Amino acid sequence: MRYWLMKSEPSDVSIDDLATLPNQTVDWYGVRNYQARNFMRDQMQVGDGVLFYHSNCENPGIAGIAVVNSTAYPDRLQFVKGNKYFDPKSSLETPRWFNVDVKLVRKTKLLSLKEMRNTPGLENLRILQRGNRLSITPVDPRDWELIMKILESNESFQ
């Protein structure tokens, strides 16, 4: 089992939006970075843990826990002319872009980027590394465990 941090802009799909979708599942569409695509296509497996991260917003941070709910398959939006994710170099025979389905496990109290930066033991978390802009990053099992403990302790104080 692997662990991932997956960024979503709340203006596109928030943790609350995910909670209202059929089966509380969303196809992780629109990834147009080869390294992030390769993580989905080549490494993600059904059941992998996901930190659902709100990005590009007033309060960025981990907003919930999810799981990978499918193996990778071609992102349908790469074939839709006029869509911002359309790729004219992609074809049904040789798709360039893939996505996986992500299913909500639970919404959590927001664990902010600032809180993560100030947490001893998370110094190696990729999202905290200077220059990291990837929308999908692997999470070390030790970091996952520490984040789960923080989230569980935050939930007990709600």
Is residue 144 within 8 A of residue 1, CB to CB? The reply is no
Residue 71 burial (CB count, 10 A)? 13
* pLDDT at residue 118, as a whole number: 95
* pLDDT at residue 105, as a whole number: 98
Can you list the residues of the chain whose pLDDT is less than 50? Answer: 157-158
Domains annotated for the chain, with CATH where assigned, are 3-155 (3.10.590.10)
Counts of helices then strands in the chain (DSSP H, E) = 4, 8
Is residue 97 within 8 A of residue 85, CB to CB? The reply is yes
Whether this prediction's pTM lies above 0.85 is answered by yes
* pLDDT at residue 158, as a whole number: 46
* pLDDT at residue 155, as a whole number: 61
* pLDDT at residue 157, as a whole number: 46
Is residue 101 within 8 A of residue 69, CB to CB? The reply is yes
* pLDDT at residue 107, as a whole number: 97
Please report, rounded to a whole number, the percentage of residues in the chain having pLDDT higher than 70. Answer: 97
- The sheet carrying 61-68 orders its strands as 25-27, 101-112, 61-68, 49-54, 3-8, 136-138
